[in-house]
Structure 1
Amino acid sequence: MNQRPRRASDDVSFGIKVAALWSVCLLAIIAFLVAMVWLLNSISLVTITVAIAVMITALLQPAVAWLDRRGLPHAVAAVLVYVVGIALLGLALWFVISQIAKSQTNIGQQLTASLTTIRDWLVNGPIHMSSKEADKYTIHLGQTIGQYKNQIASGAWESANTAIGIVSGAVFTLFAVLFVLLDNGKMFGWFVRFFPDDTEGHVWAGGAAAWRTLTAYMRSLVLLAAVNAIAMVPVMMIAGLPLVVPLAVLLFIGSLVPMIGVLVAGAVVVMIALVTKGITTAIVVAIMLVLIVQLFGNLLNPVILGKAVDIHPFAILVGVTGGTLLAGIFGAFVAVPFIAVVHNAIRAMREFNAGKIDPLIEGHVPAEVAEHPPPVPHGQEHRLSDPGPA
């Protein structure tokens, strides 16, 4: 009996072969992600405007759906919500920008004074740090942050640093929001048709879960940010802090970036309390801020989100940090919803494949799509025999 000639690969263990295959697959995935990041960054103006438009749409779409369920024609509901929503968002944006512009100099002076106060405490307090070391941790750190703050904040905004870029991006965003609100899911149906027939059901399930996640996240994000800022107003007023309204606006903006954003905004509030009212008031303000953020986060998040956005805090921290490194403030803002959307979409596709969910039965696709239901995995056709309410 002839034996097959021995090959060098025969001496490689099965575990090494599996590890090598996984390594090649992971390298291919990493290369794809790097290429996608490079591509999106090269057209960052389009990337930013589309992302913002989708998030604004997710914030407004529940109101359109509410009007739809009450018999109002979809086009009328979409236009009505669009006009009212954009007007309110524009008013809020104007208020935020005006408050920041008026108080930017005062806040900067207060922060500089607080760094000096902290430096003196490090030198003369119980720590007895040397002047050189204290300067490194306070004055020099403040100068470094001030020197590089524009670079830290720019990130993917670099392509929108001209008036033409900002105006064109704003106009594009407004038209995109109106178009998506009027579209009512038809565009996603067109996108699904690019996939093979036996995978369309998976894409529908993943897309429905992704949209539910983004809608819940945006609603929770704005509501919790507003609650955090408003709840701190009486605390800051009782403490006698200056710049109460600008600091509340800063807390609102900081709360839009999970963990890191509210931490930075809260640090600014505490430092201003330190330099204006002393260390005791600063400690009380810090404690109240932590209690308010934790209290409302733990009370409201389960009610607003349910299980729509269930991400471990460590994953949030890693995502926000990675997003900041890749795309500055914008990357930090979109990192968490991106992780949540991808996580829930993958989970929904797995559940669909296992026959646990059906996007039609759960009413997660538009009515016109229900007329042409997506195919389901082989052997699970019985799940669409009773589609239920579309």
Structure 2
Amino acid sequence: MLMTAPEPPASSAGPTGGARDPRLEVTYGVRVAAWWSVCFVAIVVGVAVLIRLLNSISLVTITVAVAVMITALLEPAVRALTRIGVPRALAGIGVFVVGIAVLGLSMWFVVSQVTDAAGDIQTQLDQAADDIKNWLITGPLELSEHDVDEYTTSLGDTISDNRSSLVSGFLRTATSAIGVISGSVFCLFATLFLMLDDGSIWRWFVRIFPPHTREHAHEGGVAAWRTLVVYMRSLVLLAALNALAMVPVMMIADMPLVVPMAVLLFLGSLVPLIGVLVAGVIVCLIAFVANGVTTAIVMAVALILIVQLFGNLLNPIILGKFVNIHPLAILVTVTAGTLLAGIFGAFVAVPLVAVINNVVHAVRTHHATIAPAPTGATAGTLDEEA
């Protein structure tokens, strides 16, 4: 039966003939829309304040978020070791040391490769500059050599005139580098503590909630952690597959810096859609500088085919139903995350939306399946488990 609001009386004047109540002149639909608007504005303001607060302590926010995501990637290995009898502390420390060692060796290898090939890249860039200059003179634009030299001189003068701003930008970069170093150290310690934790941090967090909501919070946390673990595992696996599949293509095309370019594709694939697009553009530019337009086109086509193949065939198999987000929603989410928090926002936007979606679904399902219980029963159960 469809419920409707009672109609206001025909005349709302008081018994003494007073003024009509203006609230009764507003229709039911307008009142509902007004309340929805108030709630929506309150939610937007709350989210804006939260984002501003997290941005004011960005060093803590970023390092803790990255530590949680690294822990989600490494924790299954810790759980597998504890399952075969290895103590939790020993398993956590061992996996942490191995993971950091692999990451450090990978970074050292990439930096050494780039350093060794720096001379060749500089030579190729100079050759590319000469080719572009010749194209401007002999190509469709048919510029004179004097005009090309003048434009080149003007560009050099512009760089010279803005040297002070470039130096100040370098100083800002140096200051940011200090923040990156301190944040990296903080992230390492946070990751180690999270991997050594046996769930006490989460149990403490659940006890913050009111007693009658603790079981819902616990179920939501389980769903969130499961989603994050599956997402990180699939993200790293697909990024590695994209990079490894491009290695033979780049080797056949005789491109320089094959290994650093593969690592760049791996890192770019960690940011859905936008990251792999940026990394692919850089790879195509290197291919254009080194081997010409044809090689750049081949690289672009191969990268598109590989990303689409793995994304459409393997991604649903790896993720299953844990992270079921439409590609358009991913694009909107990554774009919004980039606008709000830059590269970090683009990196965490998709897992954040996936976690929120699965948490809401898990809490609703749990609320619909549990039987009504006396107040305090849930709290007592969780307190006993803690």
TM-score between both structures, scaled by the size of structure 1? 0.76
CA distance in 2, matches of 1:31, 1:296: 40
Show the counterpart of 1:16: 30
Supply the distance in 1 between the matched residues of 2:370 and 2:326 (Cα, whole angstroms).
24
Whichever of the two has the greater Rg, that structure is: 2
User: 1:213–1:309: 8 Å Cα contact kept in structure 2?
Assistant: yes
**TM superposition shift of 1:283:** 2.4
Residue matched to 1:294: 308
Aligned-partner Cα distance in 2 for 1:373–1:111: 67
Residues 1:277 and 2:291 aligned together? yes
* Alpha-carbon distance change, 96 to 34 in structure 1, aligned in 2, over 3 angstroms: farther
SS in 2 for 1:161: helix
Paired AA for residue 228 in structure 2: L
Return 5+ residue gaps in structure 2 as ranges.
Answer: 1-10, 144-154, 372-377
Measured against aligned partners, the alpha-carbon deviations of 1:185-204 in whole angstroms (never above 9, x if no partner) come to 21111111111111111111
* Cα distance in 2, alignment partners of residues 186 and 119 from structure 1: 67
Once the two structures are superposed, the pairs formed by residues 318-329 of structure 1 within 5 Å of their partners are 318-329=332-343
- 2:176 is the counterpart of 1:161: yes
1:107 to 1:184, Cα distance in 2 relative to 1, 3 A: farther
- Corresponding position: 1:252 with 2:266: yes
Q: Is the 8 Å Cα contact of residues 270 and 283 (structure 1) preserved in structure 2?
A: yes
- CA shift in 2, pair 1:216/1:119, >3 Å: farther
Could you say what secondary structure the match of 2:330 adopts?
helix
Give distance in 2, aligned partners of 1:87 and 1:98: 16
Matches within 5 A, 1:52-201: 52-99=66-113, 113=128, 161-163=176-178, 165-201=179-215
Matched-pair contact (CA < 8 Å) for 2:114–2:257: no
In structure 2, what is the equivalent of residue 317 of structure 1?
A: 331
Q: Which amino acid aligns with 1:223?
A: L
Partners of 2:66 and 2:187 within 8 A in 1:
yes
RMSD of equivalent CA atoms: 3.8
Contact 2:12 2:21 in 1 (8 A): no
Is contact 1:59–1:215 with CA below 8 Å preserved after alignment? yes
Query: Which letter maps to 2:67?
Result: A
Q: Which residue of 1 aligns with 2:5?
A: none
CA offset at residue 350 of structure 1? 1.0
The residue number in structure 2 matching 1:367 is none
Counterpart of 1:335 (choices 345, 349, 356) is: 349
| Count of aligned positions | 342
Distance of 2:355 and 2:174 partners within structure 1: 26
Alpha-carbon displacement from aligned partner over 1:138-176 (angstroms, at most 9, x marks no partner): xx9xx9xxx9xx99xx9xx9897152x333322221221
Q: Report deviation, 1:99.
A: 4.6
User: Are residues 302 and 111 of structure 1, via their aligned partners in 2, closer, same or farther at CA, if it must alter by over 3 Å?
Assistant: farther
Specify the alignment match of 2:358 in structure 1.
Answer: 344
CA distance in 2, matches of 1:38, 1:166: 20
What is the match of residue 31 of structure 1? 45
Aligned to 2:318: 304
Other structure's SS at 2:86 match? coil
Query: How far did 1:93 drift?
Result: 3.2
**Contact 1:256/1:333 (8 A) holds in 2:** yes
2:226 aligned residue (212, 218, 222): 212
Identity rate of aligned residues, in percent?
Answer: 57
Aligned-pair CA distance for 1:17? 1.3
Q: Is 1:264–2:278 an aligned residue pair?
A: yes
Q: Aligned in 2, Cα 1:335/1:295: closer, same or farther, shift over 3 Å?
A: same
Q: Which stretch shows the higher mean deviation, 15-24 or 84-93?
A: 84-93
Deviation at 1:44, TM superposition (A): 0.8
Secondary structure (helix, strand or coil) at the match of 1:76 reads helix
How far the C-alpha of 1:372 sits from its partner, in A, is 6.5
Report Cα offsets for 1:238-257 as digits up to 9, x if no partner: 11222222211211111111
- Report if the CA contact (8 A) 1:59-1:219 is conserved: yes
Q: Is the 8 A contact 1:55 1:218 kept in 2?
A: yes
**TM-score normalised to structure 2 length:** 0.77
